[in-house]
Structure 1
Amino acid sequence: MGMDRRGLMTGMGAMMAAAAIPGGATAAPLIKPPRLRAGDTVGLIEPAGFTDDAFDLDLVQDTIRAMGLTPKAAPHLAGRYGYLAGTDADRAADVNAMFADPDVRGIFAVRGGWGCARILPLLDFATIRKNPKLLTGFSDITALHLAFAAKAGFTTIHGPNAASSWGQYSWDAFRAVAFDAGTPTFTNPVGREDRLAQRIGRVRTFRPGVARGRLLGGNLTVLAALMGTPWLPDFSGAILFIEDIGEAPYRIDRMLTQLSLAGVLGRIKGVAFGQCTDCGAAGPSYGGFTLSEVLQQHLAPLGIPAFQGGQFGHVANQYSLPLGVEAEMDATTGTIRLLESAVR
């Protein structure tokens, strides 16, 4: 039987939609891992840099217990191989083992550093996809977050590492997302400096407005380093959040230029730039661009809502931003509101 005109148009529409996604695959619905509950066992991994003092891992485990959770150390957690926490094979094996372990309900990266990208080809994504679990961490853990968004399809959390300070602000944000399955609005803490005009918590708006889309992003350096690899998700229609540390303005300029030339900045709905710790120019910078000027040059011309100063990045207290969930960003107030829960 021949296909009628309506059926033909429907089929063509489906093919066009599939072609709009890298690889021609249709977009799969977001998978939500189980929420964390008191008493759950969570895995501790070091997929990048090593911990200098093994006794610091005791403090990390005490932090996890203070959350009401039970820590389970990966077999190579205290390993060291040069500046890495063990060989690539060992670190990848720890990640694979934690996702395969039925007793483990969530996974925390102890710290960042460098090295996550090295283990991406060694990860067992078939097993990881079958066992969705919350992975929490930031900085170099961005490589895992983005790869999981591209290859596994479930939520992960860009939030404090297990070895972070976990102040009340960070803990409240994480608990709302990971334990309560909440949809909080993330806003910067109110500054309490002894000055008439507060500096802490201020937001710079490059283009006002409200944007809605999937949250995707993380550390800018790691994101830029993954350009051209199969480990990046499709950023079309996303809200991009980015942060960094120890990068001079010209290097931020270079990385944003790379994202622009690769077409990423032209496909997104909004940009939230968090904290860029120690990102000033070294030495006298007369005649150079400041970080805010670099961001203004790249973000304002996009014609989409964009702001700088969100409370996430290499800072003591930060948001817990779940990758993949729908969110609303207000560039005027510098807030990010989750429109759906990250867990089930």
Structure 2
Amino acid sequence: MTTPSYPPKPSPGDRIAVLSPGAGLPELFPVPYELGLERLRKEFGLEPVEYPTTRRMGATPQDRADDIHAAFSDPTVKAVIASIGGDDQITVLPLLDRELIRANPKPFFGTSDNTNLLAFLYNTGIVGYHGATVMVQLGRPVAMDALTADSLRAALFTSGEYELRPVERWNDVDRDWADPATFEAEPETRPATGWTWRNADRVVEGRGWGGNLEILSWLLMADREISHDLSVYDGGVLFLETSEELPSGTEVYRILRNMGERGLLQRFSALLMARAKTWSFERPNSPEEGARYAAEQREAVLRALEAYAPDTLAVFDVDFGHTDPQIVLPYGGTIRVDGPAQRITVTY
């Protein structure tokens, strides 16, 4: 497999493709989408370019693949960002022209279901960026979170090191995008706990790989974009986050157990586990219930590590998942985890 390399970065004034490789939710919820586009223009100086399926729910996998090809092959488009995630992007992967995309490398930004395309880019030899979608992070009511915006700006326009820091406040309670009142006030936040370290007696540096845990489990089941040569992951930094579907601790353990049985989990030198999202419209947990859910998830991860990767350096509650703020991680790029200093540095 080709070692992923960083694609050329855009500059303010450039065009950026806005795609919906998963779900065309801008059709159903135009307010956060339009707000995100406005911020791309005014706060980042980029010109969004839409495609036929960007605002279309139910677009076929082939139509979405066509839009991905059009965005990557257009020499005037300098980066690509997802509108939001979804749940069936895996059906688009077999339709992608790997050689076309390899010949036209561009920074791609997305999370959640976009783990599919990020894993595809990793295997194509292109560093992607796990973080920032138009509707969620850029379309945040009233203002983007300052830390999210700083991270996204650095990832978009710079190529140096960027140090992650524990956040002081966070939020995971969603509000109804169909209610105009949602956009009249910033989301309420609550105090955050710092990172929790395990085996923090060494310094690890490697290429980042991972993403949404549920999506990775689907890729494993479908035998897509997970290398059969597991040595390509040796020494890498695994990063994992869970979605608003709130998988149980048992499910999280089983996925990690199966990764361990395959021989995958133990290949990585470090694990970054995102702060768990603990609230959803289907399960509106109280703070106390949410804390119990997060504790159960952590125990599940620790149980799997003890069984399959007991020596792995791990950091919990890093803010790159389905919570707010959200930090961008380079997918296939360099991540440095310094246990003794308790520092995490990424290279954008």
Q: Give TM-score, length-normalised by structure 2.
A: 0.80
Measured in 2, the distance between the counterparts of 1:334 and 1:275 equals 17
Instruction: Name the SS for the 2:209 alignment partner.
Output: strand
Instruction: Tell me if structure 2 keeps the 8 A contact 1:136–1:159.
Output: yes
Deviations 1:253-293 (A, max 9, x none): 1111111111111211111101221289x89999xx82221
Match status 1:227 vs 2:220: yes
Instruction: Tell me if structure 2 keeps the 8 A contact 1:240–1:271.
Output: yes
The structure richer in helix per residue is 2
| Match of residue 210 from structure 2 | 217
Measured in 2, the distance between the counterparts of 1:157 and 1:310 equals 16
Deviations 1:58-112 (A, max 9, x none): 222112112110000012211122xxxx111111111111001111100000000
Match status 1:90 vs 2:31: no
Structure 1: which 5+ runs fail to align?
1-26, 193-197
- 1:297 positional shift: 1.1
- 1:178 positional shift: 2.1
1:279 and 1:204, CA in 2 relative to 1: closer, same or farther beyond 3 A?
farther
| Residue 300 of structure 2, aligned match among 294, 301, 308 | 294
Match status 1:158 vs 2:130: yes
| Match of residue 325 from structure 1 | 333
Measured in 2, the distance between the counterparts of 1:253 and 1:331 equals 24
| Match of residue 268 from structure 2 | 268
- 1:120 positional shift: 0.1
The farther-off stretch of 215-224 and 293-302 is 293-302
Larger of the two Rg values belongs to structure = 1
| Residue 14 of structure 2, aligned match among 18, 40, 51 | 40
| Match of residue 160 from structure 2 | 182
Number of residue pairs the alignment of both structures matches: 302
Measured in 2, the distance between the counterparts of 1:35 and 1:143 equals 22
Instruction: Name the SS for the 2:167 alignment partner.
Output: coil
- 1:333 positional shift: 6.1
Deviations 1:107-164 (A, max 9, x none): 00000021211100011111100000000010110111011101x1011100111112
Match status 1:337 vs 2:345: yes
Aligned residue runs from structure 1 range 236-255, under 5 A: 236-245=234-243, 246-255=246-255
Match status 1:50 vs 2:24: yes
Measured in 1, the distance between the counterparts of 2:340 and 2:253 equals 23
Match status 1:132 vs 2:124: no
- 1:48 positional shift: 0.7
Percentage identity across paired residues of the two chains: 26
Instruction: Name the SS for the 2:257 alignment partner.
Output: helix
Deviations 1:172-211 (A, max 9, x none): 112122212121111112359xxxxx95042222322332
Measured in 1, the distance between the counterparts of 2:279 and 2:31 equals 31
Measured in 2, the distance between the counterparts of 1:56 and 1:87 equals 24
- 1:331 positional shift: 4.5
Measured in 2, the distance between the counterparts of 1:334 and 1:141 equals 29
Instruction: Tell me if structure 2 keeps the 8 A contact 1:92–1:122.
Output: yes
Q: 1:97 corresponds to which letter in structure 2?
A: A
Measured in 2, the distance between the counterparts of 1:107 and 1:207 equals 37
Measured in 2, the distance between the counterparts of 1:42 and 1:53 equals 21
Measured in 1, the distance between the counterparts of 2:153 and 2:34 equals 22
Instruction: Name the SS for the 1:225 alignment partner.
Output: helix
| Match of residue 80 from structure 1 | 57
Q: 1:93 corresponds to which letter in structure 2?
A: D
| Match of residue 87 from structure 2 | 114
| Match of residue 207 from structure 1 | 199
1:335 and 1:115, CA in 2 relative to 1: closer, same or farther beyond 3 A?
farther
1:241 and 1:141, CA in 2 relative to 1: closer, same or farther beyond 3 A?
same
Instruction: Name the SS for the 1:37 alignment partner.
Output: coil
